[in-house]
Amino acid sequence: MRRIVYPGYKLADKKLSGRGVYYEGGASYAALVGFFDDEAGVLIPLEGAYEPEVGDLLVGFVSDIKPNGYRIYTGLPNNTFMSSKDFRDPLDVGDIIIAKVREVDELKDISLVDPVLLKGGNVIRISPVKVPRVIGKKGSMLMQIKEATGSNIVVGKNGWIWISGGNEYLATRAILKIEAEAHTSGLTDRIAEFLKKGGME
């Protein structure tokens, strides 16, 4: 059974792993608001900041040019740096990129690698815990939006989403609707209906 838990809620008498859980005095407790599934023993956070992990793709923009690389702003409190060693094309301040996290150090400072320049378009920001909902199972939700709007959409794990071409307005509204209703059921069908009606509710 799934139920809503809040910080300090006792989850189990054993050590559980995963995000938003802590272990103290022989029991595991929730540290975040989220769903807890008794059988799976996993807490799914409903709110929370992005936790950088190696291999994640982040959307951000170049905020400063350094002698050996670029400082990237991804909306995180952490310093984010990308070395210019591995690629030729120079970037400019304000360029939007998507890049992979190569390393996260003990201060949670991030170094990025393999950037792809995203030309034109707009960036919208949503809560990072809602990103899996925007992508959907095996990318189904994202594919549905792309097909209905003809837009090119790139989703970063940090909750920044780049949208370009097609019906950008409808794609933006659909994504913001997913964010607002991420915790409700039957969302895929409702978004399909929303897109079919061209955003009329």
Partner 1 sequence: MSNQVSDVKLIINGRRVDGRRLDEMRPLSIKAGLLHKANGSAYVEWGDNKVVAAVYGPRECLPRHDADPYKAKLSVRYVMSPFASKDEHGRSGPNRRSIELSMVLREALSNVVMLELYPNAMIDVFIEVLQASGGTRCAALVAASVALANAGIPMKDLPVAVAAGKIDGEICLDCGKEEDNFGQSDVPIAIAPRNGDILLLQMDGLLTKAEFLKALDYVEKAAPMVRDLQAKALEECYKGAGQE
List of residues contacting partner 1 (CB under 8 A)? 2-4, 6-8, 10, 20, 22, 24, 29, 31-33, 35, 45-49, 77-79, 106-108, 127, 129, 183-187
Measured from the CB atom, the residue of 107 and 200 that comes closer to partner 1 is 107
Spatial strand order in the sheet of 10-12? 10-12, 27-30, 21-24
Measured from the CB atom, the residue of 127 and 152 that comes closer to partner 1 is 127
Q: Residue 123 contacts by C-beta under 8 Å, 6 or more apart in sequence?
A: 59, 61, 96, 160, 161, 162, 163
| Strands of 52-109, DSSP E | 57-66, 69-73, 80-83, 96-104
Measured from the CB atom, the residue of 24 and 39 that comes closer to partner 1 is 24
Two structure tokens written together for 29: 């407790």
Alpha helices in the chain (DSSP H): 131-135, 140-149, 168-180, 187-196
Query: How far apart are CB 186 and partner 1 at their closest, in Å?
Result: 7
Radius of gyration of the chain (CA): 19
Measured from the CB atom, the residue of 116 and 180 that comes closer to partner 1 is 180
Element (H, E) at 4: strand 2-5
Two structure tokens written together for 93: 């301040």
Question: 């978004």: which residue's tokens?
Answer: 191
In degrees and rounded to multiples of 5, residue 97 shows phi and psi of -135, 160
Measured from the CB atom, the residue of 7 and 198 that comes closer to partner 1 is 7
Measured from the CB atom, the residue of 14 and 125 that comes closer to partner 1 is 125
Q: Residue 54 contacts by C-beta under 8 Å, 6 or more apart in sequence?
A: 101, 102, 103, 104
Query: How far apart are CB 19 and partner 1 at their closest, in Å?
Result: 9
